[in-house]
């Protein structure tokens, strides 16, 4: 009986470990194998090992530089916009005021909506032919000609970034507000007695207490935004001419439009290496282990 009890943790962990192997380890190993094979669903009889040819084809693709640049702009602007606006929202909601719960429910609503619905809604709103945004701007006299938000190569990426920013603000607001509400009020009262100003209280109390949450949410959100391709696929499908395509959407297109699983897997491995490198550098730069020690 004692021997069985000692193995109880292994029995408890076995189901989750099995699911992890099925849904994570197996696809990961398969992707690794596909990346070094000529694996096209349009040529099922020609599947064979081809060394690093898939990586060469991806890196020599004339669009690859543009896609890397788009990925950088996408992640930096989206995460920065979501974080700044989410932080301001959390600060505004920290203090009680009449109707706060109602207002809180409204501003957090986007987080509960499917990204598919968000993408379809904004695609309709911003459509140049029948979208209400262009119609409203024309009637108010703000613009003279229609703006092609989703079909202009100079605007398409930034239009999706604005949509993604709006969609992700509640994530930062919820996480940062929860962290702010855990700060003891005694600290602010003591700071008031000592004559501390608003900036001093914000930096030495608020920011110090929620620093670990800020670092963790920035890390998680950067990974999610970098890997997110659904809004881009729904709103622009990466177009026009790859002007709004990023690494994750490009990988998706390779797999499901050209059916070239070999090159899609090569992009996936490159993608994973970039994320691992980013996580390592981010944790080192922010000194995550020491964050929150004050």
Convert the pLDDT of each residue in 126-142 to its tens digit.
988 888 999 999 999 88
Res 44: pLDDT = 82
Write down the pTM of the prediction: 0.86
Contacts of 240 (CB under 8 A, 6+ apart): 151, 152, 153, 156
Res 294: pLDDT = 46
Domain chopping of the chain, boundaries:
51-110+159-290
Give the residue carrying structure tokens 């080192």: 284
Cα–Cα distance, 34 to 263 (Å, whole number): 8
Cα–Cα distance, 63 to 80 (Å, whole number): 26
Per the structure block, which two tokens stand in for 187? 């600290």
Q: Reply yes or no on whether the pLDDT at 286 is more than 60.
A: yes
Quick one: average pLDDT of 174-201?
88
CA distances in angstroms from 283 to 169, 206, 215, listed in the order given: 23, 21, 9
CATH topology assigned to domain 51-110+159-290: MetI-like fold (1.10.3720)
Sign of the CA dihedral running 167, 169, 175, 178: negative
Helix 100-107 with 156-180: angle, nearest 10 deg: 140
């Amino acid at each position: 009986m004692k021997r069985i009890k000692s193995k109880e943790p292994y029995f408890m962990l076995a189901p989750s470990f099995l699911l992890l192997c099925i849904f994570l380890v197996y696809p990961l190993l398969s992707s690794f194998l596909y990346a070094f094979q000529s694996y096209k669903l349009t040529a099922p009889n020609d599947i064979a090992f081809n060394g690093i040819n898939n990586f060469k084809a991806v890196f020599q693709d004339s669009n690859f530089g543009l896609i890397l640049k788009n990925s950088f702009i996408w992640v930096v602007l989206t995460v920065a916009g979501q974080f700044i606006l989410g932080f301001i929202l959390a600060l505004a909601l920290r203090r009680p005021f009449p109707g706060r719960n109602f207002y809180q429910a409204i501003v957090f609503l986007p987080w509960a909506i499917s990204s598919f619905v968000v993408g379809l809604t904004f695609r309709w709103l911003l459509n140049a032919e029948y979208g209400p945004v262009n119609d409203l701007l024309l009637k108010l006299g703000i613009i003279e000609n229609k703006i092609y938000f989703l079909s202009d190569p100079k605007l398409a990426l930034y239009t999706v970034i604005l949509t993604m920013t709006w969609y992700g603000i509640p994530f930062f607001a919820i996480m940062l507000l929860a962290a702010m509400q855990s700060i003891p009020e005694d600290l602010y009262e003591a700071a008031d007695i000592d004559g501390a100003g608003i900036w001093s209280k914000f930096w030495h109390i608020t920011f110090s207490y929620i620093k670990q949450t800020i670092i963790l949410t920035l890390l998680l959100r950067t990974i999610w935004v970098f890997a997110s391709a659904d809004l881009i696929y729904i709103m622009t499908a990466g177009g026009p001419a790859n002007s709004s395509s990023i690494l994750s959407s490009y990988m998706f297109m390779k797999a499901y439009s050209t059916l070239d699983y070999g090159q899609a897997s090569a992009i996936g491995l490159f993608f994973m290496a970039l994320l691992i490198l980013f996580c390592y550098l981010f944790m080192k730069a922010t000194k995550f282990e020491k964050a929150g020690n004050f």
